[in-house]
Amino acid sequence: MASLRLMASITIRRLDATLIARLRARAMSHGRCMEEEASEILRNNLQEAASQPQLDLGTAIRRHFAHLGGVDLVLPSRERVRRLPK
């Protein structure tokens, strides 16, 4: 049985004229219409994003702020643990 591929259409409103001109030029350089070029850009970008491993929250935050440098904290000395009362 052949697999059925559903195709959807989207409308993108309020695109900057400069962006449209760049998309048109890029499409022409690849021998495609603007719609095919936009589809290819989305497909490539989303495939790249899907192939990258997902980071846990702590690692993502650390990478986001890494350019600011680290912080060395002075930790107070710990007291001995007291015995629990009976």
User: pLDDT digits over 22-42, tens only?
Assistant: 999 999 999 999 999 999 999
The model carries a pTM of 0.52
pLDDT at residue 2 is higher than 70: no
- The pLDDT of residue 27: 96
Cα gap 37→43, rounded to integer Å? 10
Residues 20, 28 contacting (CB under 8 angstroms):
no
Over residues 51-79, the mean pLDDT reads 85
Rounded to whole angstroms, how far apart are CA atoms 85 and 66?
Answer: 46
Residues in the chain: 86
Q: What is the model's pLDDT at position 83? A: 84
